[in-house]
Amino acid sequence: MPQQAAHPTVMDGIGELSRVREEAVRGAPRATEAQHAKGKLTARERIDLLLDAGSFTEVEQLRRHRATGFGLEAKKPYTDGVITGWGTVHGRTVFVYAHDFRIFGGALGEAHATKIHKIMDMAISAGAPLVSLNDGAGARIQEGVSALAGYGGIFQRNTKASGVIPQISVMLGPCAGGAAYSPALTDFVFMVRETSQMFITGPDVVRAVTGEEITQNGLGGADVHAETSGVAHFAYDDEETCLEEVRYLLSLLPQNNREMPPRADTEDPADRTCEALREMVPADGTRPYDMHDVITEIVDDGEHMEVHERWATSVICTLARIGGEVVGIVANQPQSLAGVLDIHSSEKAARFVQLCDAFNIPLVTLVDVPGFLPGVDQEHGGIIRHGAKLLYAYCNATVPRISLILRKAYGGAYIVMDSRSIGADLSFAWPANEIAVMGAEGAANVVFRRQIAAADDPEAMRARMVKEYKAELMHPYYAAERGLVDDVIDPADTRSLLIGSLAMLRAKHASLPDRKHGNPPM
């Protein structure tokens, strides 16, 4: 009798599934070699570095595009060039999508975009951070307008998630054209030198339109965006360091806007005195010093993560822990332009304040500011509206807010740097503080100009009037006597006072007017 064919079994199906999964994960060996030859990791290697070991769960691994034409119907790889899913970082859930440059150069098509849309929706619903690992050639030209519509869906979800869950963009390859707008909509942008670039129009287009010759890195490399444009918040030399720093940043952020940032135990005593602060800041307001030294002395174990470290350097914005609790620190930097506020530093600080307020991170403001930067370029560039961005951000913030005046605080810049008059919960000052409309020399020249001009010895009269103005209106207790500063403190007590004050303010609740949203200056 003829032998009957065996019926398919479950084990046959499992074997086929294993083969298919292996194909999806492995990818084309030649493409992997090409990626490594460029000094770049593959998408899966990057995910392994970002997430806790063994925690990744992939979504839609077997998705394939349905496009036809231009040879697409003959090339339908699994994943369609993007890997999506979730895992954990330090034990907390994080969603991730990673462009796979080995497949269609990481270009976005309809199926590719749909996968990203799904993981973004899942992150918003689950209330967990979203990290995008970007390494793609932009829209998939062969799919036409469907690819462009896919970007629109990403932008819409970036905006919906803004202020709801932390969004972090990690640039690990090219990101050109409309694709660059998604990172710009997220909370943080990380870049890697030499291998990542961002620009709206590439060097070829720039050359054709303007005649300017420039390389990809010169136009939109990591250093350009970290130092000149301010698009990148962080820049690193290699992918491994970059992804490790992303993990550290996530350890400082809450899962969503309904949670508090994670607390961490510290062996740095809450009552530690900071005697070094007594000598760190020169009493002479014209002498510079490094505000980083002050921050390092105050925060737990001297550790903090500075945002936009190399852009708009006259102000420092950094995340740290004080007494185990995460805080956002905004501080003038006397080593850069004497710590003035200008167009870029106002923008930088304003967005940082908004970020901290969105994610329940208390704000500590360290003030040593001579004013806003004067000049025709600043006025014509809109310093009024840019400075108003920082003012608006502070006034709108409902998180605990503590300001500390280290030395000088002059004019409108004093008000803008979270003064009591715009809603700081507590305001302290060191004994060398000078709070005034302007410096004593400038004030004396205005107020006593007639007496100085009429004097037999104008210079001696000017010196006398400067001394008189300081004695009357700029002595260390002038603001405290009027309730504009809560206390004048010994610098050595700064850390313990901040910890105690933040503990008191932890349960602070403040509500904003019932409105759709405000209309901040642009």
Question: What is the set of active-site residues?
Answer: 177-178, 412-413
For 196, list phi and psi in degrees, rounded to 5. Answer: -115, 140
Q: Which two tokens stand for residue 97?
A: 């999508």
Is-contact 351 390, C-beta < 8 A? Answer: no
Residue 521 to residues 153, 199, 285, 383, Cα–Cα distance (Å): 27, 26, 32, 11
Phi-psi label, residue 429: left if phi above 0, alpha if psi -120 to 50, beta otherwise = beta
* Closest to 334 measured CA to CA, from 315, 353, 350: 315
Task: Quote the CA–CA distance of 155 and 174 in Å, as a whole number.
Answer: 18
**187 alpha-carbon distance from chain centroid:** 6
Task: Quote the CA–CA distance of 271 and 496 in Å, as a whole number.
Answer: 5
User: For the chain, what's the residue count?
Assistant: 522
Task: Quote the CA–CA distance of 67 and 75 in Å, as a whole number.
Answer: 10
Task: Quote the CA–CA distance of 438 and 448 in Å, as a whole number.
Answer: 14
Query: How many CB atoms are located within 10 Å of the residue 471 CB?
Result: 11
Q: Report the DSSP pairing between strands 82-89 and 92-99.
A: antiparallel
C-alpha angle 500-505-510 in degrees, rounded to nearest 5: 170
Name 341's bridge partners.
372
Query: How many CB atoms are located within 10 Å of the residue 415 CB?
Result: 14
Residue 166 DSSP code: -
For 256, list phi and psi in degrees, rounded to 5. Answer: -160, 180
Task: Quote the CA–CA distance of 242 and 191 in Å, as a whole number.
Answer: 8
Is-contact 102 27, C-beta < 8 A? Answer: yes
CA dihedral sign, ordered 448, 450, 455, 459: positive
**214 alpha-carbon distance from chain centroid:** 28
The CA R_g of the chain, rounded to the nearest whole Å, is: 28
Is-contact 461 451, C-beta < 8 A? Answer: yes
DSSP states of 506-521: TT------S-S-----
